[in-house]
Structures are given as structure tokens and as C-alpha cells.
Structure 1
Amino acid sequence: MPTDPDYSVAVESHAELRRGLDVGLARTDGRLALLAHRHDETDKDMDDLAARVAALENARWPLPAVAALCSVAALAVTVWQGIGH
């Protein structure tokens, strides 16, 4: 091993840079893991919302069916009144 003082300073500086890089990478990994978790939760929420919207769309009556039912009821009332009741 060389006894040059510049060499020992360079080694210490290199070790400090490596520690700083390791800490930065650990923080970045943590943030990416948090973002991935939030993305998964958002996907789950969107799937739940899509299922709820589909259930609401299937449960409602279409407007033409309601209009046809009302017209048939009006025709029945008109015929009933025309007969004399």
C-alpha cells in the first residue's frame, strides 16, 4: 500500500462518495416502492369504481322503455275512459 497522503485522502473521499451514493439509492428505492404501492391502490380504486358504475348502469331503466310504458298506460286510461267508466 502506498504511503502517499493524497492516496489516503482519495480513498477516504471515495468511501464517502460511495456511502452517499448508497444512501441516495436507498432513498430512491424507498420512494419508488411507495409510488408503486400508491399506483396499485389507485388501480384497485379505479377497478372498484368501474364496477360500481357498471352496476348503476345495469340497474337503471332506459329512457325509451319508460316512455313506452307511459304511452301504453296513457292509451289504457284513454280506452278505459272511452268505454264509459
Structure 2
Amino acid sequence: MTEPSPNDPAAVALELERIRRTIEVGFTRTDGALALLVQRHDQSDETQKEHARRLDAHDARLDTLERGETERQKRSDGRLDALERARWPLPSVAALVALCGLLLSLWQLTSR
């Protein structure tokens, strides 16, 4: 087989068609790779948004706990207040015991 001459229009057209096909295949591969990268980027953005949303929810719950605004904390505070009101203060008990001791001492002293 003989090589086609460079001035042969059919040979030039054939070579141009081969170059065009090679470029099309290259562009198709590049488009596919870019589409895959775009899809991964979108998934990454969605994942980051989900993580940010969850982090905001956790922050809000922590703020609520720090302020003591949960129902359980409110119930505990109410019970604690009720217990503090219901207990006898220690200084009052000590004063009553001392008064009783004084009265008993005076009664014994007067009964002799």
C-alpha cells in the first residue's frame, strides 16, 4: 500500500475526521469526569449542610440546658424549693434544744 500524498484532498479529509473523532472522545471523557466531580461536590454540599443543621440543633439544646429551661430542670427546681421550705433550719433547732436545756436546768434547780 502506498502512502497518500499530503496534497490528496481525500487523505486530508480522512485525517481531519480521525482528529475530530479523537477530540470528540477526549471531550466526552472530560465531560464525564466533570459531571462526576459536580455530582460529588453537590453531595458534599448536602452533607455539610446536614452537619451544620445538626450542629445548630445541638447548640440550641445545649443553650437550653445551660439556661435551665428544660421541663425536668424546672420540676427539679420546684421540688428543691419545696424541700427547702419544708425543712427546719438548723439554727432554729439548736436554739430550741438550748431553750429546752435551760428550762430543764431551771426546773431542776427550783425543785430542790
TM-score by length of 2: 0.53
Structure 2 equivalent of residue 17 of structure 1: 23
User: Percent identity of the aligned residues?
Assistant: 8
Query: Which protein shows a greater Rg?
Result: 2
Instruction: Give the corresponding residue for 1:51.
Output: 57
Partner of 1:74: none
- Which structure has more RCO (C-alpha within 8 Å, separation ≥ 6)? 2
Q: Partner amino acid for 1:22?
A: T
Distance 1:10 1:47 in 2: 55
Report Cα offsets for 1:14-39 as digits up to 9, x if no partner.
Answer: 01000000000000000110010011
Alpha-carbon displacement from aligned partner over 1:21-75 (angstroms, at most 9, x marks no partner):
000000000011001001100000000000000000011137xxxxxxxxxxxxx
Query: What amino acid does structure 1 have at the position aligned with 2:15?
Result: V
TM-score by length of 1: 0.68
* Structure 1 gap ranges (5+): 63-79
In structure 1, distance between residues paired with 2:13 and 2:47: 51
Q: Which residue of 2 aligns with 1:31?
A: 37
Aligned residues: 67
SS in structure 1 opposite 2:67? coil
Distance 1:57 1:29 in 2: 42
